[in-house]
Amino acid sequence: QRTQVAIIGAGPSGLLLGQLLHKAGIDNVIVERQSGDYVLGRIRAGILEQVTVDLLREAGVGERVGREGVVHHSIELVFAGTRHPIDVHGLTGGKVVTAYGQTELTKDLMEARAAAGLQTVYEAADVSLHGHDGDAPVVRYRKDGQSRELRCDFIAGCDGFHGVSRATVKDHVTEFERVYPFGWLGVLADVPPVSPHAIVYGNSERGFSLCSMRSMTRSRYYVQCPLDDKVEDWSDQRFWDELRRRLDPELAQKVVTGPSIEKSIAPLRSFVAEPLRFGRLFLAGDAGHIVPPTGAKGLNLAATDVKYLSSAFIEHYAERSDAGIDSYSQRCLRRIWKAERFSWWLTNLMHRFPDTDGFGQRVQEAELDYLVNSRAASTALAENYVGLPL
| Cβ atoms of 214 and 188 closer than 8 Å | yes
Q: What SS3 class is residue 156? A: strand
According to CB under 6 A, which residues from 279 to 338 bind ligand FAD? 285-286, 293, 296-299, 302
CA atoms within 13 A on the CB side of 385: 30
Q: What is the DSSP string of 273-330?
A: EE-SEETTEEE-GGGTEE--GGGS-HHHHHHHHHHHHHHHHHHHHHH---HHHHHHHH
Which of 168, 294, 310, 378 binds ligand DHB (CB under 6 A)? It is: 294
What is the Cα–Cα distance from 122 to 138, expressed in whole angstroms?
A: 18
Binds 32: which of ligand DHB, ligand FAD, none (CB < 5-8 Å by kind): ligand FAD
Q: What is each CA distance from 46 to 283, 344, 363, in whole angstroms?
A: 23, 19, 30
Binds 294: which of ligand DHB, ligand FAD, none (CB < 5-8 Å by kind): ligand DHB
- Residue 75 Cβ, how far from ligand DHB at the closest point, in Å? 8
Tell me the site size for ligand DHB, rule CB under 6 A: 11
Select 26 or 45, whichever has its Cβ closest to ligand DHB: 45
According to CB under 6 A, which residues from 19 to 78 bind ligand DHB? 45-47
Which of 50, 165, 203, 212 binds ligand DHB (CB under 6 A)? It is: 212
Select 160 or 293, whichever has its Cβ closest to ligand DHB: 293
According to CB under 6 A, which residues from 117 to 156 bind ligand FAD? 124, 127
- Residue 235 Cβ, how far from ligand DHB at the closest point, in Å? 21
| Residues taking part in catalysis | 72, 201, 293, 297, 385
What is the Cα–Cα distance from 187 to 223, expressed in whole angstroms?
A: 9
Please identify, among the stretches 39-47, 323-331, 332-340, 345-353, the one whose residues bind ligand FAD according to the rule CB under 6 A: 39-47
- For residue 158, what are the β-bridge partners? none
Longest dimension (CA), the chain: 63
What is the Cα–Cα distance from 277 to 273, expressed in whole angstroms?
A: 10
Kindly list the residues in this chain that would bind ligand DHB in the complex (CB under 6 A).
45-47, 199, 210, 212, 220, 293-296
Kindly list the residues in this chain that would bind ligand FAD in the complex (CB under 6 A).
8-14, 31-34, 39, 44-45, 102, 124, 127, 158-160, 162-164, 266, 285-286, 293, 296-299, 302
